Amino acid sequence: MPNSVSSETWKEKVRVVLTLAVPTVIENFLLNIVGFVDTLFVAKIGLQEVAAVGVTNAIVAIYIAVFMAMGIGSSSLIARCLGAGDIGKAKAIARQSTWLAILLGLFFGVVTLVFAEPLLRYMGTEPEVLQVGIKYFQIVAIPSVLISLMTILGSILRSASDTTSPMKVGLWVNLLHIILAYLLIFGSGDWQGWGIAGAAWATTIARLAGVLALYFYIQKSKIAFTLAQGWAGQFTRPLLQISGPAVTERLIMRLGQLFYAGLIVRLGTDAYSSFIFGGIISQFAFLPGYGIAVAATTIVGNQVGANRKNDAYHYGIVIMGVAAVFMGIVGILYFAFAAMAGPLFTNEQKVIDMVTIGLRIDAFAQPFTAVSLVIAGALQGAGDTKSPMYSTIAGIWIIRVIGIYVLCFTFDWGIAGVWLVNLIDYVLRSGFLFYRFKKLMLHKKG
């Protein structure tokens, strides 16, 4: 990790950013590919199984959102301690984060054990899907402690500027997952396999392997710790203070997305389907932004920990520029090849046309999305998790909800209105977050 921005050239700073960001981008890309392959496997069993996996994953996504938010608090504090040269404190925070992850994972495991059926019913699961869904949900989510530990342990390594090890673990775990999923779903020889239960067990076993591998890499890192060292209770409150707004942000975002999707459903099946298809494509566009945002959290956290806010600000500008270039290129590709996306999912020309319109509008949003993701990560690295939370609340519940009512239901702009609202949200959000970041870094108070 660099000591001072002033002693580095622009190319050197970009190289530091890419060294941290690229492994995370690759890791996230592999995760998306595995999810796609997993869906293909389950689809060969039947549509009820696909529905069961889909509704379960929607609930588990809320669990993961909470675990990731806890990881933000861990990353921020550890990065700042390492920037200040206090490795002992960084190790203690990493240990306490892991204990909190265990408790949080056990809590969600109990929730799943007790409330699996009510939760699936609340999600509107059809009766013929319910029993299949309960089986899958319980196998995958009762051991939620594995999900929480994978998330936190990966965050700990990244906060220590090691994004390569989580990428390696992700590569082997995802490969193991695909092999196990195929064998346990479809069987081998005379054994017919376990069907959807096999898919669930493949996921759980792969996560267990991931936890063990990540813990092994931590033992080889500069912030190595063992859980036998016990509870570091003095760091619980600081972790919760930083993670609390991030948890709130993720929950608000998930709930807002559900409400937001409900409004789009009112536009009709064709419009909603086109939005879903466009969203699947856009998930891949977010990968560079998310990866570079991880680098922003680590680098800015280190600079702030070393009491170099001015350097942190300049690094933030460099990281923002790198992300904007990457996602700007994605936007150009979106615009040029948007018409080819719809036919991947459907033969309905009306839906294909709507996917094309949506992606071409979203192409203009890419640079602003990049700024939003990176500056949010930079702010979180500096310990400000409230500003991203405020931007999410305003973006999801005010701009998008009101925007859809105005553009889609008042002016009848249809799916184009949905994507225009998305663009407006990211333009305003990026401006607000950049203002907060500049004020925080260049002023004593902010």
Question: Which pLDDT belongs to residue 21?
Answer: 83
Question: Which pLDDT belongs to residue 445?
Answer: 47
Of 413, 389, 420, the C-alpha closest to 65 is 389
Put simply, whether the predicted model's pTM sits higher than 0.85 gets the answer no
Question: Which pLDDT belongs to residue 8?
Answer: 64
The residue ranges of every structural domain in the chain are 20-242, 266-446
Q: Can you list the residues of the chain whose pLDDT is less than 70?
A: 1-8, 31-32, 34-36, 39, 47, 123-124, 444-446
State which amino acid sits at residue 7.
S
Question: Which pLDDT belongs to residue 446?
Answer: 40
